[in-house]
With several copies, the nearest count.
Chain A
Amino acid sequence: MIELTEKSIDFTQLTNLVRDHRAGAVLLFLGTVREFTGTEQTSSLRYEAYPVMALKKLQELEEECSRQFPVVRIAISHRTGDLDLGEISVAIAVSAPHRAQAFDAGRWLIDTLKERVPIWKQENYQDGRIEWVHPGTSGASNSMTNQTP
């Protein structure tokens, strides 16, 4: 199961989707909105997706993961829109016969999602700055708006 959603992610439902009598291990990864990155204080995040391509790339992740690892089931949900501190931005659930397989598959899924799936994060800082996060481009030039003097 893969989805993009504007609504709060129900990680319980996602986890139950991958539970299976063939699996001895279930791994759930949640990305959550963190308040501090170094000295920078985040007040909220906004996630924007290129929806059709993002769904296609998530589907490819699911297929590629199933080929590379002996997983039983996979479920991925990514949030879009505005998120408050502590909210879940992404949930990845995977089940496998043994724990090492579940850990390896879960790690591969989140690492590869972050490389390939066209979704972008915009940081809304406590001091009023709003910045797109675009790895590999310079931080300073990302600053779109400075709403405080």
Chain B
Amino acid sequence: MKIPLQLFARARDLAGKSPIEIEVPENASVAQLRQILIADFPQLTDLGPSLLWAVNNDYVGVEHVLKTTDEVACFPPVSGG
């Protein structure tokens, strides 16, 4: 299945665009999505372990299982305020 992935801040700048589309197996977890993201965009390798993940505007752990209808985003640690 194809997951549209929104990237923000330095992650978006490194990837060069947002959203990007990632092809993952059915019932893939966020961990699998991350692995494929980094294979497709090796410039995200260093940032990979610190990336935060959100599904439908809530934070999720990497064990979270994705559905095609999910709104998925990833980004580095936040620094607002």
Q: Size band of the B side of the interface?
A: 20 to 34
- The answer to whether A53 and B73 touch across the interface, beta carbons within 8 angstroms, is yes
Let me know if B81 and A132 touch, CB within 8 A.
no
- Asked, given contacts A78-B80, A120-B78, whether A137 binds B47 with beta carbons under 8 Å apart, the answer is yes
Give the residue of B47, B54, B73, B75 whose beta carbon is less than 8 angstroms from that of A120. Answer: B75
> What count of chain A residues pass the 8 Å CB interface test?
34
Residues in A with CB closer than 8 Å to B57 are 52-53, 56-57
In the complex, A39→B3 CA distance in Å? Answer: 43
- Assembly CA distance A47 to B58 (angstroms): 20
How near does chain B come to A96, taking the closest CB pair, in angstroms?
15
In the bound assembly, the distance between CA atoms of A54 and B78 in angstroms comes to 11
Q: Is A107 an interface residue (CB 8 A)?
A: no
Interchain Cβ contacts under 8 Å between A and B, 7 examples: A53-B57, A56-B57, A99-B81, A119-B81, A120-B78, A133-B79, A134-B77
